[in-house]
Structure 1
Amino acid sequence: MLHELTLEGHGVRLVPLAVEHAEALARFVDDRVWAGMTSATPRGVAALRDVVGTALSTPGRYAFAVLADGEVVGSTSFYDVDLTMGRLEIGHTYYDPRVWGTHVNPACKLLLMSHAYGTWDVARVAYRVEARNARSIAAVTKLGARPEGRLRGHRVAADGTRQDSLYFSVLADEWPDVRARLEARLAGDRADGARTSVLLIGGRSGAGKSTVASAVHDLLVARDLPHAVVEGDALDLAHPAPWEHGVAAANLADVWRRYRSLGHRRLVYTNTVSVLQADLLAAAVGDRPHVTSVLLTASDGVARERLRRREQGESYDAHVTRSDAAAGRLEAAAGDDVHRMATDGRTPAEIATEVVALAGW
């Protein structure tokens, strides 16, 4: 569907998607960027030309290239547009990882929804997300879109499996509040000095995450530095475990919004795999946060000794098994940007002092 609609503001420009944009899109599209799509990851300029061609040939879809500072940094679309019924969906969205957690996504959503409600006078804007796509779930929830339910077996994923879709929406009478939230996020993003500083503390069970976070808290209190400590495990501690719904990231977004409103800018976040989820957590926090990732390590013997102090019987055995598995995964997957810090034979206060220095606090 060819169109001539251009939207501009808040540091981004949305222009009609064209084949000429394929080369720029191909520079950053990879498996991580394409996660949650129903098609296989397009690789190379020719494959992106096919993606653009599909977008342009789909009825009811207004596809855009997203520009920031004159550079193509992504694509997004209106689709399933039915102005007679006053409804549409926003999706087919992907961005260069360099702009994840920046002003780009909230600015695009503000422009798109402002046009949908203000010019087309729609009654409903919907977002459809694959149930496994925690990043997108967190981003849509942070917008203020309301969850509506799950469509089981609704789509065929790129790997050939049937997956559920989660639906979210914003109705016209909810739009003023959603718009205000987006405008506030963008205003905060422009104030660079107000950016959040996040300290992620990860590690296997028995590495000392909670103990070190408590010591960091004591140290910052002694220095009278405003901050908040959030135990990630508590954000989605439920049964059945709701991890696939992105509840932890959505809850973090809500919790941190309240702390920010009180003037807090330093966040200490603990979770076993937090250092592997820096992008997702940064998106939940918003405002292009400065992130310091610290992976606490402990030898098998020390981890077991610490676990034995708090777990017994079958619970102890289960924790040891999970701890060993997590240690291997973390060591293999944590990148060079993650600071590894051994905790064997060291006091929590010593580690806290070093961790706070890494964060620049």
Structure 2
Amino acid sequence: MDSAATRAHMPPQVSFTRPKSLSIAARVYGYPPTHNAGSEWMLHSMLRPLVEHGHRVTVWLSHPGSIEKRYDIGGVSVVPYQEGADFAAAVQKADVLISHFENVPLVSGLARTRQIPVVVICHDNFATTFHNAAGADLLVYNSEWIRRDGEIFYARYPPEFLPKRTIVVRPPVIAEDYRTEPGDRATLVNLNADKGGELFWRIAAWTPEWSFLGVRGAYGQQIMPPPRLPNCEVVDSVPGTNMREHVYSRSRVMLMPSLYESWGRVAVEACASGIPVIAHPTPGLVESLGAAGIFAYRDDVNAWIHALLALRDPVNWARASRRAKARSEQLTRESDLDLWCDAVESLARERRPASLRGASAARRLWRSQ
């Protein structure tokens, strides 16, 4: 890296500035506000600062949704599947392409054919995810533990198979978007089996001292409470923009007995309001919650019951709440969004026309002297 002294002595004719407005196109399955999975909200949180940097960001959807006309959310223009038949032609002039999950092979193919830099976001450590991301110009891991697994995967392959650059961007959570006064419920968001829907209702049956709030998820078969559980309430899926009002303002404790979480965005959103989180220790939740987490294995129902009963004590709850707020503040201070924006913009600098590459050549020559 250039030291401050080195930068001070760079030739005056060599100038490196943020690129002018870029055209950035993303191709994904669904997008907020109608598609409420954590990975899509992570992507939106990453695209918003690119818009704030003055870039034109368009998201093209690959699956029909309930919104059939182009719309804008946070400055990001979203083209629904119903209007997106010309995606392949429209992105020919894009400066950067972005994708994740099942759209990566298509987008990577278009990027190679048209020599457009491609960014792939990895939200999990599945072999298919890493395989599809091979050769990406920029690979974004959503946590350090996913990065470590990715490096182990790619270590078996020759250099030409590897992503050209990798960074870690932990799912950004803008704390003020979620901060509120906690309520009185023990809450689970998404009642499918992998998220712990069945365990949630077992805990509710054994802790009548608590009132429970179950929020239907955006995906997966939802497990409803058994009859005659008077301390339970179920509400429909809540858009991310309404989570503060309809979920966190009603929650005193967040339960996350998930079988798998690569990060655990809901946990971090809850921490913004000082809501303690009891979680199964998946690698992602251990990393995201840090010292704020209250961990219990999902196959040990007694551990969950005892943790909840302990949080009935106002002193214990206040202590756990302070740890949650401190973790939220730490993640806000250590945001990866500047790193992310710089990485995307650097792809455009590297792709600039031959007439503009002289500065890069001059810089390399100067460094070698």
Tell me the TM-score normalized by structure 1.
Answer: 0.25
Structure holding more strand per residue: 1
Normalising by structure 2, report the TM-score: 0.25
